[in-house]
Amino acid sequence: MSDALAPGLYLVATPIGNLGDITLRALEVLKAADRIACEDTRQTQKLLNHYGITTPTISYHEHNERDRAAKLIEELKQGSRIAVVSDAGMPGISDPGSVLVREAIAAGISVIPIPGANAALSALIASGLPTDEFHFIGFLPEKAGARRTRLEAIAEQPRDTAQAVIFYEAPHRIADTLADLEAVFGPALRVVAARELTKLHEEFLRGAVAEVRTRLTERDRIRGEFVLLIELSPHTNNPGAPGLVSETWETISDQVKRLQSEHNLDEKEALKRLAREQGKSKSELYRELQRERAKRK
């Protein structure tokens, strides 16, 4: 195959833990390419050594992505065969790759995917959550406020069918993210934490968010790599999610009416009281109420 490898940019998936998870075609492409552009050359070298591949490597990571892309595009225009790999899984998925792909397409260069391991899809297929429709988010923002805002935006998105939402998360942030998920979607939210996929300590923690969080935080130390999945349906209980009218939870409008009759308040006063009880601003709650009413029209 090496002589036959056509010029172009090859996006090669590499293992996410278990070195056996690489395709025959991926190995052939890595062997035959003129160069391998790697997120981390030392990391990829371990894989290449394991398979006796001696193709030269070059670094291609988030800090040199633009400059390096320009150089690689020049080589590709001369007819080179360049393979791109990330440290694990598919390049371009929460990893460098997409800049080079766009530039290659713009330059009329063939872009060839060499499929293989991916953490998000591996976790999804074994999660037990809906697979017909899913939403891949990748990493949430690191800052607490931005993370909460992002989750609230996800909660607000209309859904016709049940779907899984997939996140990548670092072990030192997983407990905080689970706490945020619980705050936004409620303690009954169905969650799967997929840990150390394809590795010796592979593990799936499935259950309500509160339960999964307790099981993890009870450990001395939370180690390993995680994919976090949640199940959202049109009927998911989303008590903290702005604008979502759920069948099983009281709507804002119902809560306001209840407070009005219980405490003999007008709507404005009831809204103020509800905002205080829920730790939200009055204007935020008012906007939610308006959205809820608009949806019912």
In terms of phi and psi (left: phi > 0; alpha: psi -120 to 50; beta: otherwise), the region of 29 is alpha
Q: Interface with ligand SAM by CB under 6 A: which range of 40-48, 115-123, 142-150, 173-181?
A: 115-123
In the region spanning residues 171 to 200, those forming contacts with ligand SAM, defined by CB under 6 A, are 194, 196-199
Which of 60, 168, 185, 286 contacts ligand SAM by CB under 6 A?
168
Angle at 55 between CA 14 and CA 35, to 5 degrees: 80
In the region spanning residues 219 to 248, those forming contacts with ligand SAM, defined by CB under 6 A, are 225-227
- Considering the rule CB under 6 A, would residue 86 count as an interface residue with ligand SAM? yes
Q: Which is nearer to ligand SAM, 127 or 238 (CB)?
A: 127
Contact yes or no for 122/198 (Cβ under 8 A): yes
Which of 120, 178, 191, 212 contacts ligand SAM by CB under 6 A?
120
Phi, psi torsion values for 35, nearest 5 degrees: -155, 155
Angle at 260 between CA 257 and CA 263, to 5 degrees: 145
Q: Interface with ligand SAM by CB under 6 A: which range of 92-100, 205-213, 262-270, 286-294?
A: 92-100
Q: In the chain, what are the helix, strand and coil shares in percent, each to the nearest 5?
A: 40, 20, 40
Q: How many C-beta atoms lie closer than 10 Å to residue 4's C-beta? A: 7
Query: Looking at this protein, which amino acid is placed at residue 121?
Result: L
Q: Interface with ligand SAM by CB under 6 A: which range of 25-33, 73-81, 113-121, 284-292?
A: 113-121
Q: List the structure tokens of 295.
A: 């949806």
- Considering the rule CB under 6 A, would residue 170 count as an interface residue with ligand SAM? yes
Q: How many C-beta atoms lie closer than 10 Å to residue 166's C-beta? A: 23
What are the residues facing 138 on neighbouring strands?
A: 167
Q: Which is nearer to ligand SAM, 60 or 168 (CB)?
A: 168
Which of 23, 45, 55, 94 contacts ligand SAM by CB under 6 A?
94
Q: Which is nearer to ligand SAM, 68 or 195 (CB)?
A: 195
Contact yes or no for 238/249 (Cβ under 8 A): yes
- Considering the rule CB under 6 A, would residue 169 count as an interface residue with ligand SAM? yes
Binding site for ligand SAM (CB under 6 A): 16-17, 86, 88-90, 93-95, 118-120, 168-170, 194, 196-199, 225-227
